[in-house]
Homo-oligomer: A and B are copies of this chain.
Amino acid sequence: MQDRLHNFNAGPAALPLPVLEEIKDSFLNFKGSGMSITEVSHRSPWFDDVINDAIQRTKRLLNLNDQYHVLFLQGGASMQFCMAPLNFLSGGQSADYINTGTWSTKAIKEAQIQNKPIKVVASSEDKNFCYIPKGIPFNKDAVYVHLTSNNTIKGTQFESLPDTGSVPMVIDMSSDIMSRSLDMSKVGMIYAGAQKNIGPAGVCMVIIRQDLLDLSPDNIPTMLNYNTFAKKNSMFNTPPCFSIYTIQLVLKWLEETIGGLEKMDERNRKKAKTLYDFIDNSDFYKATADMGSRSLMNVTFRLPNEILEKSFVTKAIESGLGGLKGHRSVGGCRASIYNATGMDAITDLISFMTQFEKTSG
């Protein structure tokens, strides 16, 4: 598809081309149903196969034991900022929060708006969130530790999950879910808006352990209770069918074409290393995240000035490289290089960056 762009958007983001092609090809008649996937009933064997396959693939890819439920909710990660404290802190207990940027800050705000007595046990706000805090003093009596594993805006990422002792982690993994394998032993819940690594906008994957599910009180609204979704296989009401279907295809691609999360991790590390190495070897481009805290998903960098940055983004688009503008809250440039971004996109980006520096530097 030579008319396709290299898509470096932070989300919604690039999807694997074979996935898009399969959706397109079957769009008017899904699996011989005589209906589009957008028209098929969620109470049909066709959709049952879709959602159950997506769940099974998630369980295999992440090596989940039978204590974990894989759910599909709506409202994005932002709805989870509200739901996690609502479900897990009904008895007046506290939770620990790590603040590593915009999304963590919002998660903290949504717990506080409900008057939940949470504690911010670490923050990198002192240096504009350019690093991931280490040696965090967790509270042993916390119900959970909340963290954002990858920060799309600041371009930082936990290299590995912190040691929270016996306290389960609740992790916003919107921008790095399924990008690497995970040690789930201390993970109580993962949530992830799909629109970066696993699908289109409109669905949030929630992976939740039974002991956390058991914390939800009965007297909260039905659609805000995780048990509603766990008990009905995410079909208490009509789920976002098309988005779940796309996730299913992306997970199939991850398993069958890529070969699983270790292979995906290898690819992602190679892509990120290539791009960071190029930036580090340049005097013109400058990475913004601290070494050791750098994201493998969102490579944030600056040029010598904002005029050059603006010109860089514009000329990149003309060269078939889209979405390189930094988040509006921080400026600069950002290349989001999620799972679906191939090494060819990195190579083409570096060629462009080399050329741009030559003509503008």
State the A residues within 8 Å of B (CB): 1, 3-5, 7, 9-15, 17, 20-21, 23-24, 27-29, 33-36, 38-43, 74-79, 81-82, 86, 106, 109-110, 113-114, 193, 195, 199-203, 219-224, 236-243, 246, 320, 322-323, 328
Contacts and interface: CB of A to CB of B under 8 A. Distances in A.
A17 B34 CA distance: 12
A114 B221 contact: yes
Contacts of A220: 113
A170 B219 CA distance: 24
Contacts of A29: 1, 3-4
B15 A240 contact: no
Nearest to A222: B110
Which residue, A35, A82, A239, has most C-beta atoms of chain B within 10 A? A35
B223 A12 contact: no
Contacts of A40: 9, 12
A223 B86 CA distance: 13
Contacts of A27: 20, 23-24, 27
A193 B323 CA distance: 32
Chain copies in complex: 2
A43 B10 CA distance: 10
Contacts of A203: 202
Contacts of A243: 202, 240, 242
A170 B193 CA distance: 30
B11 A36 contact: no
Nearest to A218: B113
Contacts of A7: 34-35, 39
Given A74-B74, A201-B241, A3 B221 contact: no
A322 B240 CA distance: 21
A38 B24 contact: no
A20 B36 contact: yes
B34 A82 contact: no
A98 B159 CA distance: 55
Contacts of A10: 41
Given A222-B78, A224-B82, A238 B20 contact: no
Contacts of A239: 201-202
A199 B241 CA distance: 12
B28 A4 contact: yes
Which residue, A15, A82, A193, A224, has most C-beta atoms of chain B within 10 A? A224
A353 to B, nearest CB: 19
A55 B17 CA distance: 31
Nearest to A76: B237
A23 B242 CA distance: 13
Contact of A4 (B35, B79, B86): B35
Contact of A322 (B28, B35, B199, B221): B35
A13 B238 CA distance: 11
Contacts of A78: 222-223, 236-237
